[in-house]
Amino acid sequence: MAERKSAMGNDPLAWLAEEYGGVVEKELAVEKNKTKSAKSTPTPAKAPSAKTDTDYVEESFSALADKGQQIVADFYAHLFKHYPELAPLFDDISKAGQQKKLLAALTLLVKSLRDPDILQAYLKGLGARHQSYGVDPHDYGKVANSLLVVLEQHAGELWTFDVKTAWEKTLNTVAQIMQNAYESVDEQEMAGTAVNLSLIHISEPTRPRLIS
């Protein structure tokens, strides 16, 4: 069946002319002439600005958005295959739930790259929790390597030198911020001592009763 056309045809502003008559037609003609005049006047071309690492990370992550679930699944498969010593950290944790959390964390990370205050606060909290889970500072390099390998596999030709470098720098910065939130052993012992002292109830010594 042939597509029916309304009275306005292909001009989305035709109804104005029908409703208000020739006055609007003249005004529309003037606006169209202005547009033609503006188009005919050449504007100086602007030199394209160089992309930043944030640009590369955002663009590549957006291009891989449809593959997000497969990427996190492949990430854990690679991580446990090449670094089996990390597997115990995930004991008694839902596989599907952990993958979902990782994808959400990556999404939040990329979306927060242009808001350093939010990013710092988020990563510091994440780092403190990872220390409590028993994640060693040396483990961050293993995680980054697995993620980079998997991203490259899924990105294909999109994985250029600039994209790879941008992700490497970003993950390195993430690791540094998270590890900065780690407390030293001395700090942990001092905090533990302070808590223990606060639990000690110091009462006023009782006076001996005189027996009359």
Enter the pTM of the model: 0.65
- The 10 Å Cβ neighbour count of residue 204 is 5
41-86 confidence digits (pLDDT tens) = 565 555 567 999 999 999 999 999 999 999 999 999 999 999 999 9
- Above pLDDT 70, what percent of the chain? 64
DSSP string across 18-86: HHHTHHHHHHHHHHHHHHHHHHHS--PPPPPPPPPHHHHHHHHHHHTGGGHHHHHHHHHHHHHHH-GGG
> How large is the average pLDDT for residues 178-189?
72
